[in-house]
């Protein structure tokens, strides 16, 4: 029975207690941290997943790929029929695939017949389905990029004068501090469980969970909220702080490589591709589920029928549990927009079990209210003086006030079958139940009378069933109380699911401590609900914007403290439920009585029912989220961080470089701030190059801005070459990898070669860049010996024909680097160690025409984070800022008794709280821009 989320997430009396969080006692396979990526060599071959084959309804034997399977089964049937009953083979027979692996195992006659029958069931067909008997998924490791912990943030804000105890900080992040030597074979070790937010395609990530981590059979529940259809704009939100998406506006289209790739790969054939997309994911998801597990797919009426068919195929029709219709929005969809006459405000949850016989199911109840629905039966009242009367029509339809008293229904005292038949005398009249029978014995009837539970109807006796005998009723498959639009769900994502809908699924299908997976994270509703209810979670999204939203949602959330049965055992030990009544005598605890005719007739204590959504709470505790990590898939051969990585262009497949050169030739304009641009021409591969990808001539700004450019480049060239004769406008180009960032090694190698060859400028062009590489590039001449610029390649070039207008001027652009000021404060810490403060002044954008740096407003970023002791392996978010927002407000209010208000002000601004660190410590700042991009920078304190 769901209560208002506000009550759940904001304890009423958050007194002076320190914030607490649940600790999960389970462990998990370790994953390497991103800083260890260059040394991480483990590889695994791609995995091929094969569908269960089905016979075409047309029984087209010659072309149907299932023919071979059917022929094998018929042979099995013939052979097994010749064996004595029960017609079992001594050893199961196997149908083998081309690679020798067993595709099918048949134990005997019954097995073969059942399999053949299954193949004959009608099924949904679509273009390409028959040809696609299997699909391959690359097996990639996952790297930990960020460690996040609300407790660590609160800790760093607490005492500005003390040097933090690093071990305590690592504990707050649940960082196992794996040395590099262990990280290189991370998957062979186990660490304490932390919840996980993973960037990547759901198929690749789920396959990694299965193959690299062996997580098969360990997920209790999977919640999938896929794009509802194939319309691009309606499925994704490209900006962190802009919820409106207009499907026809190119500006609104996301430019992230993974997203665009996913989109292009996924929807080429419209609905046909969509069905492939979903079927593949369902098949892999199934392997992750425990035997008692459940999967829920959220879908609209547009494709509900297809999803049901797909799930029949993936999970077996016998494992169907329910289709739940739930109210999604408070308002109705406009019928015009749907070209339909009937407006809707509901979506559906299609629920299947991994194995219906073993499904974990916890009944979830709603309160029986003296409202319209339950008054259909509970339409009599017993007044405080013991008199009984029927409710008046006005009382029943709500136009008159309900009388003070106990509502009751006049339930049956007889049962269908005449098994217990006797004459029963009551108040001078004899009653006989025939042709039915009594529901209890003679003695039982007497006890029911003694309890004043018998009601005399005209010619029969009825049982008085009070509403409060069992004050709740099970939820059915229609949920009309889940709509958003009230204060309970602040909508941050365009396609956000109401909390209540996900919560009910979680409560029905899992217990505290169970693992929940959402391969379509979005704004993180499933993660948020799982965190609230003490479940472990993994959420996956292919886009950075949802990840940014989820990071903020989880970090800044507060929850009720549900009392644990055994604190040392963590949530897996279960919550405590108790029976409690309020002053009005209403049941308000998590255990409610269930008084029945049977319990009265047998003088038994009444039964009890547990309301899983009403655990006992400790209102003095403010609960915050546990630690979580952000991970991502990055292909192993691609260098991720730095130093030892060998990311010279020679390592890149030459077709990637050839393609980039081609794209640059077609779109040779680089956008600069202030609507200006620089154009490259004569782009080509340099002769005998070791580290450079291309060279080009710089052409002039269309506005005629020739002098500063030529002069600046000439000056740079002269300085670099000592006046050697060379075309001042020849520039060197380094392309980053197709699916990884530009690295320091690549930059240093390219700069070395560019200097030797006398180029006047180095352009590093890529989809992303490591913090270290960005630092080197921004230092330009001082470090590299020549001016250098990072040029961000936006994803338009991968979008191709998807965009209505190919706007070449926006394909490459010079984007900002965080402009960070580090100030050493006058007063050191108590032990004499210096204290520091960091200000994000903004984003610096280098202009290669004027050689000047432009400053973009910095207090307007959606989020920035600070790691005050960057260890080169992973980013620990010690302080996380959401400038000019009230993101931390709920936590601030909850902790006002223990934490001074001023500490929170930092987290809504552009200046960090002071922190203590020795000179020489590396700190890292990460800015999240409007599109969810991460712009990192590293500084050495006192350098």
Ligand X SMILES: C[S@@+](CC[C@H](N)C(=O)[O-])C[C@H]1O[C@@H](n2cnc3c(N)ncnc32)[C@H](O)[C@@H]1O
- Identify whether the C-beta of residue 33 lies closer than 8 Å to the C-beta of residue 175: no
Q: Which is nearer to ligand X, 229 or 569 (CB)?
A: 229
| 540 near ligand X (CB under 6 A) | yes
Window 154 to 213, contacts with ligand X (CB under 6 A): 201-202
Q: Which is nearer to ligand X, 206 or 925 (CB)?
A: 206
3-state secondary structure 284-310: HHHHHEEEEEEEEEEECCCCHHHHHHH
Q: Where does residue 112 fall: left (phi above 0), alpha (psi -120 to 50 degrees), or beta otherwise?
A: alpha
Least CB distance to ligand X at residue 553 (A): 9
Take residue 852 and report the two structure tokens written for it.
């000047």
Window 469 to 528, contacts with ligand X (CB under 6 A): 493, 495-497, 519-520, 522-523, 525
Q: Where does residue 234 fall: left (phi above 0), alpha (psi -120 to 50 degrees), or beta otherwise?
A: alpha
How many angstroms separate the Cα of 97 from the Cα of each of 47, 75, 902? 14, 17, 67
Least CB distance to ligand X at residue 497 (A): 4
Least CB distance to ligand X at residue 477 (A): 20
Give the phi and the psi of residue 472 in degrees, each rounded to 5: -130, 165
Q: Which is nearer to ligand X, 234 or 837 (CB)?
A: 234
Least CB distance to ligand X at residue 259 (A): 7
Q: Which is nearer to ligand X, 202 or 208 (CB)?
A: 202
Can you tell me the distance from the alpha carbon of 867 to that of 535, in angstroms, rounded to the nearest whole number?
28
Least CB distance to ligand X at residue 542 (A): 4
Window 706 to 735, contacts with ligand X (CB under 6 A): none
Identify the residue among 55, 169, 206, 262 touching ligand X (CB under 6 A): 262
Identify the residue among 156, 542, 770, 868 touching ligand X (CB under 6 A): 542
Can you tell me the distance from the alpha carbon of 111 to that of 89, in angstroms, rounded to the nearest whole number?
10
Helix axes 67-81, 109-120, angle to 10 degrees: 150
Q: Which of 305, 347, 291 is nearest to 502 (CA)?
A: 347
Window 37 to 76, contacts with ligand X (CB under 6 A): none
Identify the residue among 111, 225, 469, 878 touching ligand X (CB under 6 A): 225
Q: Which is nearer to ligand X, 149 or 496 (CB)?
A: 496
Least CB distance to ligand X at residue 453 (A): 47
Task: List Cβ neighbours of 19 (8 Å cut-off, separation of 6 or more).
Answer: 150, 151, 154, 558, 621, 622, 623, 624, 891, 894, 895
| 847 near ligand X (CB under 6 A) | no
Tell me if residue 893 falls in helix, strand or coil: helix
Least CB distance to ligand X at residue 513 (A): 23
How many residues sit in the footprint of ligand X (CB under 6 A)? 20
Least CB distance to ligand X at residue 638 (A): 20
- Identify whether the C-beta of residue 5 lies closer than 8 Å to the C-beta of residue 489: yes
Can you tell me the distance from the alpha carbon of 299 to that of 328, in angstroms, rounded to the nearest whole number?
11
Q: Which is nearer to ligand X, 493 or 559 (CB)?
A: 493
Q: Which is nearer to ligand X, 412 or 489 (CB)?
A: 489
Window 687 to 706, contacts with ligand X (CB under 6 A): none
Q: Which is nearer to ligand X, 245 or 773 (CB)?
A: 245
Q: Which is nearer to ligand X, 198 or 820 (CB)?
A: 198
User: Torsion over CA of 300, 302, 303 and 305, rounded to 10 degrees?
Assistant: 100
Least CB distance to ligand X at residue 156 (A): 29
Least CB distance to ligand X at residue 132 (A): 17
Q: CB under 6 A: which stretch of 116-124, 145-153, 541-549, 840-848 binds ligand X?
A: 541-549
Task: Kindly write down the DSSP assignment for every residue of 501-539, as one continuous string.
Answer: HHHHHHHHH--TT-EEEESS-TTTHHHHHHHHTT-EEEE
Residue closest to ligand X (Cβ): 522
Identify the residue among 174, 482, 543, 691 touching ligand X (CB under 6 A): 543
Task: Kindly write down the DSSP assignment for every residue of 788-830, as one continuous string.
Answer: EEEEEEPTHHHHGGGSSS--GGGTEEE--EEEEEEEE-SS--T
Q: Which is nearer to ligand X, 574 or 932 (CB)?
A: 932
Give, for 457, the enclosing helix (H) or strand (E).
Answer: none
Least CB distance to ligand X at residue 214 (A): 21
Q: Which is nearer to ligand X, 8 or 525 (CB)?
A: 525
Task: List Cβ neighbours of 167 (8 Å cut-off, separation of 6 or more).
Answer: none
Identify the residue among 541, 749, 772, 847 touching ligand X (CB under 6 A): 541
Identify the residue among 32, 35, 546, 741 touching ligand X (CB under 6 A): 546
Least CB distance to ligand X at residue 683 (A): 34
Q: CB under 6 A: which stretch of 16-24, 51-59, 540-548, 832-840 binds ligand X?
A: 540-548
Q: Which is nearer to ligand X, 235 or 770 (CB)?
A: 235
Least CB distance to ligand X at residue 224 (A): 9
How many angstroms separate the Cα of 770 from the Cα of each of 666, 746, 863? 27, 11, 18
How many angstroms separate the Cα of 660 from the Cα of each of 312, 665, 795? 44, 8, 12
Identify the residue among 22, 173, 236, 915 touching ligand X (CB under 6 A): 236
Tell me how many degrees the CA angle 407-408-410 measures, rounded to the nearest 5. Answer: 155
Can you tell me the distance from the alpha carbon of 195 to that of 174, in angstroms, rounded to the nearest whole number?
10
Tell me if residue 500 falls in helix, strand or coil: helix
Q: Which is nearer to ligand X, 221 or 641 (CB)?
A: 221
Q: Which residues bind ligand X (CB under 6 A)?
A: 201-202, 225, 227, 236, 262, 493, 495-497, 519-520, 522-523, 525, 540-543, 546
């Amino acid at each position: 029975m769901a209560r208002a989320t506000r009550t759940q997430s904001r304890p009423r009396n958050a007194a002076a207690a320190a914030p607490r969080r649940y600790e999960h006692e389970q462990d998990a396979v370790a994953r390497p941290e991103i800083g260890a990526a260059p040394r991480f060599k483990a590889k695994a071959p791609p995995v091929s997943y094969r569908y269960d084959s089905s016979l075409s309804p047309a029984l087209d034997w010659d072309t149907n790929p299932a023919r071979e399977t059917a022929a094998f089964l018929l042979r099995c049937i013939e052979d097994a029929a010749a064996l004595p009953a029960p017609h079992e083979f001594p050893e199961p027979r196997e149908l083998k695939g081309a690679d020798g692996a067993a595709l099918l195992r048949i134990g005997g006659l019954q097995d073969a017949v059942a399999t053949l029958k299954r193949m004959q069931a009608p099924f949904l067909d679509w273009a390409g389905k028959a040809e696609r008997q299997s699909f391959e998924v690359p097996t990639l490791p996952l790297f930990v990029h960020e460690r996040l912990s609300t407790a660590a943030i609160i800790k760093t804000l607490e005492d500005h004068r003390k040097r933090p105890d690093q071990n305590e900080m690592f504990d707050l992040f649940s960082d196992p501090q794996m040395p590099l030597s262990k990280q290189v074979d991370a998957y062979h070790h186990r660490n304490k469980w932390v919840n996980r937010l993973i960037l990547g395609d759901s198929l690749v990530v789920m396959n990694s969970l299965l193959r690299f981590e062996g997580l098969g059979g360990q997920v209790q529940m999977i919640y999938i909220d896929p794009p509802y259809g194939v319309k691009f704009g309606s499925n994704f939100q490209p900006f962190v702080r802009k919820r409106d998406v207009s499907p026809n506006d190119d500006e609104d289209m996301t430019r992230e490589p993974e997203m665009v790739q996913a989109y292009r790969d996924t929807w080429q054939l419209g609905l046909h591709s969509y069905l492939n997309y979903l079927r593949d994911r369902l098949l892999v998801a199934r392997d992750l589920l425990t035997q008692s597990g459940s999967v829920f797919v959220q879908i609209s009426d547009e494709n509900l029928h297809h999803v049901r068919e797909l799930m029949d195929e993936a999970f077996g029709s016998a494992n169907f549990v329910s289709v739940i219709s739930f109210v999604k929005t408070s308002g109705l969809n406009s019928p015009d927009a749907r070209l339909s006459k009937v407006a809707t405000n509901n979506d559906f949850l299609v629920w299947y079990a991994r194995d219906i016989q073993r499904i974990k199911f916890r009944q979830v109840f709603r309160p029986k209210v003296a409202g319209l629905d339950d008054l259909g039966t509970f339409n009599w009242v017993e007044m405080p003086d013991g008199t009984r009367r029927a409710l008046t029509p006005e009382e029943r339809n709500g136009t008159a006030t309900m009388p003070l008293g106990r509502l009751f229904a006049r339930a049956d005292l007889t049962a269908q079958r005449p098994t217990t038949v006797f004459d029963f005398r009551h108040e001078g009249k004899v009653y006989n139940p025939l042709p039915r029978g009594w529901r209890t014995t003679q003695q039982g009837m007497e006890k029911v009378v003694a309890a004043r539970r018998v009601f005399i109807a005209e010619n029969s006796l009825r049982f008085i069933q009070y509403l409060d005998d069992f004050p709740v009723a099970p939820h059915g498959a229609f949920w009309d109380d889940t709509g958003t639009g009230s204060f309970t769900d602040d909508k941050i994502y365009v396609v956000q699911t109401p909390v209540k809908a996900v919560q009910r699924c979680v409560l029905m299908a899992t217990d505290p401590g169970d693992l929940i997976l959402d391969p379509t994270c979005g704004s993180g509703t499933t993660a948020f609900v799982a965190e609230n209810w003490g479940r472990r979670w993994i959420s996956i999204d292919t886009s950075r914007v949802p990840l940014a939203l989820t990071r903020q949602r989880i970090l800044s959330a507060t929850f009720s403290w549900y009392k644990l049965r055994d604190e040392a055992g963590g949530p897996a030990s279960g919550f405590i439920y108790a029976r409690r009544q309020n002053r009005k005598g209403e049941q308000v605890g998590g255990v409610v009585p269930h008084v029945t005719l049977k319990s009265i007739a047998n003088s038994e204590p009444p039964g009890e029912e547990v309301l899983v959504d009403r655990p006992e709470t400790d209102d003095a505790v403010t609960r915050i989220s546990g630690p979580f990590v952000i991970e991502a898939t990055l292909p192993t051969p691609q260098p991720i961080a730095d130093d030892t990585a060998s990311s010279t262009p020679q390592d890149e497949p030459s077709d990637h470089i050839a393609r980039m050169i081609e794209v640059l030739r077609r779109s040779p304009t680089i956008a600069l701030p202030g609507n200006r641009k620089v154009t490259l021409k004569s782009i080509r591969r340099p002769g005998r190059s070791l580290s450079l990808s291309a060279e080009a001539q710089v052409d002039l700004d269309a506005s005629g801005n020739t002098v500063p450019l030529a002069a600046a480049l000439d000056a740079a060239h002269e300085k670099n070459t000592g006046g050697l004769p060379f075309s001042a406008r020849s520039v060197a180009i380094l392309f980053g990898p197709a699916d990884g960032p530009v690295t320091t090694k690549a930059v240093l190698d390219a700069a070395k070669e560019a200097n030797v060859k006398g180029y006047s400028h180095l352009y590093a062009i890529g989809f992303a860049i490591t913090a270290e590489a960005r630092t080197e590039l921004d230092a330009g001449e001082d470090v590299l010996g020549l001016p250098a610029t990072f040029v961000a390649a936006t994803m338009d070039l991968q979008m191709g024909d998807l965009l209505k207008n190919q706007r070449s001027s926006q394909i490459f652009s010079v984007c900002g680097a965080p402009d960070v000021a580090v100030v050493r404060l006058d007063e050191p810490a108590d032990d004499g160690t210096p204290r520091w403060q960091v200000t994000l002044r903004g984003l610096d954008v280098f202009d290669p025409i004027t050689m000047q740096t432009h400053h973009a407003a910095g207090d307007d970023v959606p989020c920035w984070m600070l790691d005050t002791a960057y260890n080169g392996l992973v980013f620990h978010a010690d302080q996380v800022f959401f400038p000019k927002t009230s993101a931390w407000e709920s936590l601030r209010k909850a902790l006002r008794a223990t934490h001074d208000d001023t500490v929170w002000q930092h987290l809504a601004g552009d200046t960090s709280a002071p922190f203590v660190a020795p000179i020489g410590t590396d700190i890292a700042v990460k800015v999240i821009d409007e599109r969810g991009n991460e712009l990192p920078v590293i500084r050495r304190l006192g350098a």
